Amino acid sequence: MAFENLTSRLQNAFDKLRGRGKIDETVVNEAMREVRLALLEADVNFKVVKDFIARVKERAVGQEVLKSLTPGQMVIKIVNEELIELMGGHVAQLAVANRPPTVVMMAGLQGAGKTTTTGKLAKYLQKQNRKPLLVAADIYRPAAIKQLQVLGEQLNVPVFSLGDQVSPVEIARQAIEHAKENHLDYVLIDTAGRLHIDEALMEELKQVRDVAKPDEILLVVDAMTGQDAVNVAESFNSQLELTGVVLTKLDGDTRGGAALSVKAVTGKPIKFAAMGEKLDALEPFHPDRMASRILG
């Protein structure tokens, strides 16, 4: 179960505040030391933790306790609010182009769940009465085109493919034309993934971006990889200017580092969370629900 360890560590920290009549600096510092360790152990970025703790302390110390809350509850309330803020504060909506189709470019390293997530996003849009087009622009991984076609069949969503001998730029260009002609309102481009970030990959993604002029560039990262996911997001963002991140595999026993650090480190919101292999296991990312889940 995701965040299990973090949740119990935080609860231990808050236990120390129970029954205290008054919050003074010593009490807050003691609890925050535990919270700090819990977050670091959950693989949250070091600087993110430092800033987070500083903000909570500043708000908690000397704060007049609301009549209805014990001092312990007050600190938990502040931690909860700051966790929500850390993850972006509110739900970040998927872009909608003024004039259809809305073009969404999906990027990510191999194995992160990019192709699956592209299918899930198509299903999510379908449920909202949108008409998505899946675009097979990952021409290097032999199975990727087939995988997208299978997803398209399952969902009854059209898949645009020109095989693996046409450049991804050309595929993207023609796919958008195809969507316009067929009144499809979302174009979801499954771009190439690699095992590692390399220059050729970034160059290709930039070329696709320049031609497709996406309304949305979503990076799919595996939450299980913790700070690595955050580092990947930072490099993709610096090269491509992402508009958002999709966190996958939140159904696994991820420690929490990626969910809690991505927004603060990259400035880009987590727009969706994937919690399973099934096609309906994709939801808009709700910072408040995630914070509640973390606090247990």
Per CB under 6 A, the segment of 54-62, 226-234, 271-279, 287-295 that binds ligand GDP is 271-279
| Ranges within 221-250 binding ligand GDP (CB under 6 A) | 248-249
Beta-bridge partners for 190 = 106, 136
Q: 164 a known binding residue? A: no
Q: 102 a known binding residue? A: no
Q: Give the chain's radius of gyration (CA, Å).
A: 21
284 near ligand GDP, rule: CB under 6 A: no
User: Shortest approach of ligand GDP to residue 253 CB, angstroms?
Assistant: 11
Other residues' Cβ atoms within 10 Å of the Cβ of residue 57: 17
Q: What's the CA dihedral at 156, 157, 162, 164 to 10 degrees? A: -80
Q: 112 a known binding residue? A: yes
| Ranges within 69-108 binding ligand GDP (CB under 6 A) | 108
Place of tokens 């990076």: 219
In whole angstroms, give the CA distance from residue 70 to residue 211.
57
Nearer to ligand GDP, 60 or 137 (CB): 137
Residues 6+ apart with CB under 8 A from 141: 110, 192, 193
Tell which one of 112, 217, 232, 265 touches ligand GDP (CB under 6 A).
112
242 close to 270: Cβ distance less than 8 angstroms: no
276 near ligand GDP, rule: CB under 6 A: yes
How would you classify the pairing of strands 244-248 and 132-136?
Answer: unpaired
Q: How many CA atoms lie within 13 A of 147 on its CB side?
A: 19
User: Shortest approach of ligand GDP to residue 219 CB, angstroms?
Assistant: 11
User: Shortest approach of ligand GDP to residue 273 CB, angstroms?
Assistant: 8
49 membership: H or E segment, kind and range: helix 46-60
Q: 151 a known binding residue? A: no
Tell which one of 72, 88, 101, 113 touches ligand GDP (CB under 6 A).
113
Q: 119 a known binding residue? A: no
Tokens representing residue 230 in the block: 């955050």
Residues 6+ apart with CB under 8 A from 278: none
| Ranges within 117-176 binding ligand GDP (CB under 6 A) | none
Tokens representing residue 152 in the block: 């398209």
Tell which one of 65, 150, 202, 275 touches ligand GDP (CB under 6 A).
275
Other residues' Cβ atoms within 10 Å of the Cβ of residue 278: 12
User: Shortest approach of ligand GDP to residue 193 CB, angstroms?
Assistant: 5
Q: 190 a known binding residue? A: yes
User: Shortest approach of ligand GDP to residue 160 CB, angstroms?
Assistant: 17
Residues 6+ apart with CB under 8 A from 4: 253
Q: 254 a known binding residue? A: no
Nearer to ligand GDP, 89 or 111 (CB): 111
Tell which one of 81, 228, 251, 288 touches ligand GDP (CB under 6 A).
251
277 near ligand GDP, rule: CB under 6 A: yes
- Kindly list the residues in this chain that would bind ligand GDP in the complex (CB under 6 A): 108, 110-116, 193, 248-249, 251-252, 274-277, 281
